Amino acid sequence: MNDIIGVRSFVLITGASRGFGRALALEMGKVVGAGSTLLLMARNMADLETTKAIVRDARPGLAVELVSIDLETANRETFENAVRSNYGSGDHSVAVVIHNAGTLGQDGRKITDLTDIDEMSRYYRLNLFHVICLNSVFKSCFPATRTVYINISSILALQPMVTWGHYCGGKSARDAVFRVLAVEQPESVVLNYAPGPLDTPMVDDLLADTQTDQVVRTMFEDMKQNGRLLRPADSAATMVALLRKQNFKSGDHVDYYDDAAKEAMQSNTAASSSGGSSSGAATSNSSSSGAAAANTGSGV
Ligand SMILES: NC(=O)c1ccc[n+]([C@@H]2O[C@H](COP(=O)([O-])OP(=O)(O)OC[C@H]3O[C@@H](n4cnc5c(N)ncnc54)[C@H](OP(=O)(O)O)[C@@H]3O)[C@@H](O)[C@H]2O)c1
């Protein structure tokens, strides 16, 4: 098994301006090897700068590059320019792309209320089509480098939720696309990671939207009030632990609450406490929301 964590890496993270993407940038920034580069993408440059400052605080001197980009309209050329102008000498041991940007696309309408094909196209451009395009560009930019493709998925790739036709459709299709990628690229590592229900601005936006379906609203209000939303840092640390242990089959859908995630976190904690962690991986410091918690069966 070739290491993904702790080696010289090029790591591209979309949607890194806030929420889970920011947590992923920080956790990956802590564990990449010397000479690595993080390339962070989102629309809001000021928020990307804040993410960069947080990462550099934890890992002074790490190369953190920022690109303001609208993933709904970005195309092959935009992606090629963004990657090629930031990968420096390109002699990385591993190139990792983490597709984290995503939107809910819900406003209380049922799937039988949806008739606007332009609206659907915009949703799927942002939540599916650009992901396929960026993976292809990524492969062409790193022809001789080991590549790791990560899809930030959701339990809703597997389960339905009323009024979330776009979200469930997008997440499910992304999982399928990444499974195809795994069989087409057996030399790469492909992971569909479902991070669990997270306390991020996405959930705040959902609760602030007056059109949100009442059943959905009650479910998320309950999770927020009862402290059942995970800290993004804990879920990001779990994903890093999975990449370190690689105890999944390429293309698998692994949820934060799955046994593989718990096992990876246990190994991580054991390695850290015995001083055996070569690259100083962060471990979750929140036992209450750790990977051993029961699967709530809900979340975004
Ligand atoms: N929150 C949860 O409970 C939960 C659960 C399971 C899975 N997830 C998944 O985890 C991922 C991150 O979720 P989150 O909760 O952190 O969401 P969030 O707080 O809403 O953050 C979304 C990120 O995506 C970026 N983004 C949105 N539209 C974009 C566009 N057109 N172009 C470029 N970037 C865009 C945003 O940046 P800008 O606005 O700066 O562009 C932001 O950085 C998503 O894929 C989500 O589906 C979340």
Q: What is the SS3 string spanning the chain?
A: CCCCCCCCEEEEEECCCCHHHHHHHHHHHHHCCCCCEEEEEECCHHHHHHHHHHHHHHCCCCEEEEEECCCCCCCHHHHHHHHHCCCCCCCCCEEEEEECCCCCCCCCCCHHHCCCHHHHHHHHHHHHHHHHHHHHHHHHHCCCCEEEEEEECCHHHCCCCCCCHHHHHHHHHHHHHHHHHHHHCCCCEEEEEECCCECCHHHHHHHHCCCCCHHHHHHHHHHHHCCCCECHHHHHHHHHHHHHHCCCCCCCEEECCCHHHHHHHHHHHHHHHCCCCCCCCCCCCCCCCCCCCCCCCCCC
**Contact call for residues 255 and 155 (beta carbons, < 8 A):** yes
Would you state the pLDDT for residue 61?
A: 95
Say if 209 falls within a structural domain.
no
Regarding the beta carbon of 18 and ligand 1, being less than 6 Å apart is answered yes
Say if 211 falls within a structural domain.
no
**Contact call for residues 171 and 157 (beta carbons, < 8 A):** yes
Say if 173 falls within a structural domain.
yes
CB atoms within 10 A of CB 115: 7
Would you state the pLDDT for residue 299?
A: 73
Instruction: Read off the pLDDT of each residue in 179-205 and give the average, rounded to a whole number.
Output: 98
More confident residue, 189 or 270: 189
Distance from the alpha carbon of residue 101 to the mean position of ligand 1, in angstroms: 4
**Contact call for residues 67 and 41 (beta carbons, < 8 A):** yes
CB atoms within 10 A of CB 210: 8
For ligand 1, pick from 13, 14, 18, 20 the residue to mutate: most ligand atoms within 8 Å of CB: 20
Q: 64 pairs with which residues across the strands?
A: 38
Distance from the alpha carbon of residue 59 to the mean position of ligand 1, in angstroms: 24
Would you state the pLDDT for residue 271?
A: 73
d(CA 238, CA 193): 10
Q: 7 pairs with which residues across the strands?
A: none
Query: pLDDT digit string (tens) for 272-297?
Result: 776 544 333 333 333 332 232 333 44
Distance from the alpha carbon of residue 300 to the mean position of ligand 1, in angstroms: 11
Say if 208 falls within a structural domain.
no
Do the strands 189-194 and 146-152 form a parallel or antiparallel pair, or are they unpaired? parallel
- From the alpha carbon of 104, which atom of ligand 1 is closest? 47
Query: pLDDT digit string (tens) for 228-285?
Result: 999 999 999 999 999 999 999 999 999 999 999 999 999 988 777 765 443 333 333 3
Joined together, the tokens standing for residue 28 give 């990956």
Q: Report the CATH number at residue 181.
A: 3.40.50.720
Q: Which residue lies with its CA nearest to atom 13 of ligand 1?
A: 20
- From the alpha carbon of 155, which atom of ligand 1 is closest? 6
- Is the pLDDT confidence value at 147 over 60? yes
Regarding the beta carbon of 101 and ligand 1, being less than 6 Å apart is answered yes
Query: pLDDT digit string (tens) for 4-39?
Result: 999 999 999 999 999 999 999 999 999 999 999 999
Regarding the beta carbon of 43 and ligand 1, being less than 6 Å apart is answered yes
Distance from the alpha carbon of residue 19 to the mean position of ligand 1, in angstroms: 7
Q: Which structural domain, as residue segments, surrounds residue 168?
A: 9-198+231-273
**Residue 141 backbone phi and psi in degrees, to 5:** -75, -20
Number of domains observed in the structure of the chain? 1
Residue 232: Cβ-neighbour burial (10 angstroms; 0-12, 13-18, 19+): buried
**Cα-only R_g, the chain:** 18
Say if 225 falls within a structural domain.
no
d(CA 93, CA 32): 11
Regarding the beta carbon of 37 and ligand 1, being less than 6 Å apart is answered no
Say if 215 falls within a structural domain.
no
Say if 169 falls within a structural domain.
yes
Say if 60 falls within a structural domain.
yes
d(CA 286, CA 54): 20
